[in-house]
Amino acid sequence: MQSLDVANLLITRYGNEIELTNLKLNKLVYFAQAISLRKYGTPLFDDEIQAWDYGPVEPKVYYAFNQFGSGVIRRPQGDVTIPSDLATNVIRDVMESFGKLTAFDLVRLSHRDGSAWKSVYVRKANKPITPEVIIKSRDGEVKGIMEETLALGVAQVNRKWPNAMRMLENS
């Protein structure tokens, strides 16, 4: 399986439920790799992941969806492969844990202390983030990831003031 296959599966299964931009898609594909390594003990895909300014990036995914700029991606690029059981489980896991987070929440997570990105990042060097580096990092851990996120803030507002978001939408 390749990173682009993972991206296409995310778009096919969840593209109508959440807004996937190139930035968010790259982070979700990255966290899918991290979860696969951490939880299942095997890489989900073999493509190189690089440490770019905004966090981990799979160049094949980035360039396949670059045409969308910062816009929402609604359709896959290329053929959608039939997923293995591993891919199905990992994609479900990543969406349950990370799917509701914003792109910048995911960037913040990928930049936190103990992250693989932080351990290898050199500005403009696009250094590889290897499976070994990911395994040694905190990436793929789901405990506490909602702390200090926009997604958590929105959920708290919805609980405290259930009509607040509707009022904002209608203003």
d(CA 23, CA 161): 30
pLDDT digits (tens, 9 = 90+) for 70-96: 999 999 998 888 889 999 999 999 999
What range does the domain containing 127 cover?
Answer: 3-141
pLDDT confidence tier of residue 134, bands split at 50, 70 and 90: very high
- What's the full length of the chain, in residues? 171
pLDDT digits (tens, 9 = 90+) for 14-39: 988 899 999 999 999 999 999 999 99
User: How many domains does the structure of the chain reveal?
Assistant: 1
140 neighbors 35 (Cβ within 8 angstroms)? yes
This prediction has a pTM of 0.85
Residue 57, SS3? strand
Residue 14 belongs to a domain: yes
Residue 130 belongs to a domain: yes
Residue 146 belongs to a domain: no
